[in-house]
């Protein structure tokens, strides 16, 4: 067999080229880690803490990755490499953990956590979603992962608050056919305040009787719900451009004005990675984990 490719370049030359690329990648990784360390030092000098997860910056960076991606390397591979690198760099001087929803399959939660937060972060399985909410609220900067199911085993979102844990991201953020780590989930984290510029706002809504109407007709997605003898609790997602008063009006127009409505977070709208990178999802195009409604 000839060792000369059709273009006349020898295998030795091609391998030397790959070695050179690897060396440049390694040097760039070290340079990036040094830059992250300088950011941490600057924040410490300013008296500000450093977080393992920056959802707004994370979303913008992934959008840029999708826009510039070319070639045969799977987009999911590029995303995972980037996420692992980011968390490894920002977590160098942190002792933080990611708490996992114990109500979901552990192997699925572990796959999801490792894909998004890498192998350098401690993973702590919890008993259920409410346990994750409490762990995040009681920590200095830990994150939580809660599996997103149409019907919840308990209204765990009641424990979310501006002073404690909030919904800060929705996974998967980059939606791809047959992607790894595709379990629908929410990322919980502390925040100084509610994020006003999130693409999608998340609300805790409660009704004292059976919920009538169809919220989806008003652009409201039911992320999850819990039905009991005293009524219905639901976790709602709607465009972040709307005020709470607008959301109440939208619920009323659907015949479902809630007894309780409070904002408990927000997230960047997911990106459709299967089509044109410019056809990213907007707030009105949020991807539903299931039926998105309460009708049975």
- H or E element that contains 25: helix 11-45
Q: What is the pLDDT of residue 49?
A: 61
Whether pLDDT at 270 is above 50 = yes
What 222-225 contacts at long range (C-beta under 8 Å, 24+ apart), as own/partner pairs, is: 222/150, 222/292, 222/293, 222/294, 223/148, 223/186, 223/289, 224/148, 224/149, 224/150, 224/151, 224/152, 224/157, 225/150, 225/151, 225/152, 225/294
Q: Who has greater pLDDT, 150 or 41?
A: 150
pLDDT class of 50 with cuts at 50, 70, 90: low
Q: What is the pLDDT of residue 6?
A: 64
| Per-residue pLDDT reduced to its tens digit, 83-115 | 888 887 776 666 789 999 999 999 999 999 999
CA dist., res. 76 & res. 168, Å (int): 21
Q: What is the pLDDT of residue 21?
A: 94
Which of 244, 222, 241 minimizes the C-alpha distance to 233?
Answer: 222
Question: Looking at residues 208-216, what average pLDDT do you find?
Answer: 81
Break the chain into its structural domains and give their ranges: 11-48, 51-285
| Per-residue pLDDT reduced to its tens digit, 223-268 | 999 999 889 999 999 999 999 999 999 999 999 999 999 999 999 9
Strands 271-272 and 200-207: unpaired
Structure tokens at 40: 């941490």
Q: What is the pLDDT of residue 84?
A: 85
CA dist., res. 292 & res. 26, Å (int): 45
CA dist., res. 226 & res. 11, Å (int): 61
The total number of residues written for the chain in this structure: 296
Of 181-190, 200-209, 212-221, 237-246, the range with the lowest mean pLDDT is 212-221
Q: Who has greater pLDDT, 120 or 292?
A: 120
Q: What is the pLDDT of residue 46?
A: 78
Which of 193, 201, 213, 197 minimizes the C-alpha distance to 256?
Answer: 213
């Amino acid at each position: 067999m000839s060792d000369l490719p059709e273009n006349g370049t020898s295998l030795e030359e091609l391998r030397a080229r790959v070695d050179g690329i690897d060396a440049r990648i390694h040097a760039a990784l070290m340079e990036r880690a040094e830059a992250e360390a300088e950011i941490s030092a600057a924040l410490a000098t300013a008296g500000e803490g450093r977080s393992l997860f920056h959802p707004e910056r994370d979303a913008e960076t992934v959008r840029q990755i999708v826009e510039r991606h070319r070639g045969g390397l799977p987009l999911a591979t590029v995303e995972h490499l980037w996420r692992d690198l980011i968390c490894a760099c920002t977590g160098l001087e942190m002792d933080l953990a990611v708490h996992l929803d114990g109500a979901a399959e552990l192997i699925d939660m572990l796959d999801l956590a490792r894909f998004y937060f890498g192998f350098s972060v401690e993973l702590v399985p919890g008993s259920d979603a409410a346990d994750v909410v409490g762990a995040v609220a009681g920590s200095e900067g830990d994150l939580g992962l809660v599996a997103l199911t149409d019907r919840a085993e308990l209204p765990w979102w009641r424990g979310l608050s501006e002073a404690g844990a909030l919904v800060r991201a929705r996974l998967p953020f980059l939606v791809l056919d047959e992607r790894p780590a595709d379990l629908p989930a929410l990322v919980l984290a502390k925040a100084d305040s509610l994020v006003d510029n999130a693409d999608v706002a998340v609300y805790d809504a409660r009704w004292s009787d059976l919920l009538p109407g169809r919220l989806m007709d008003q652009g409201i997605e039911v992320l999850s719900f819990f039905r009991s003898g005293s009524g219905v609790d639901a976790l709602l997602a709607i465009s972040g451009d709307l005020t709470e008063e607008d959301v109440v009006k939208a619920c009323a127009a659907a015949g479902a004005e809630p007894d309780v409505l409070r904002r408990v977070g927000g997230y960047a709208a997911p990106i459709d990675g299967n089509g044109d990178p410019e056809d990213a999802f907007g707030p009105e195009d949020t991807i539903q984990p299931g039926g998105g409604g309460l009708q049975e």
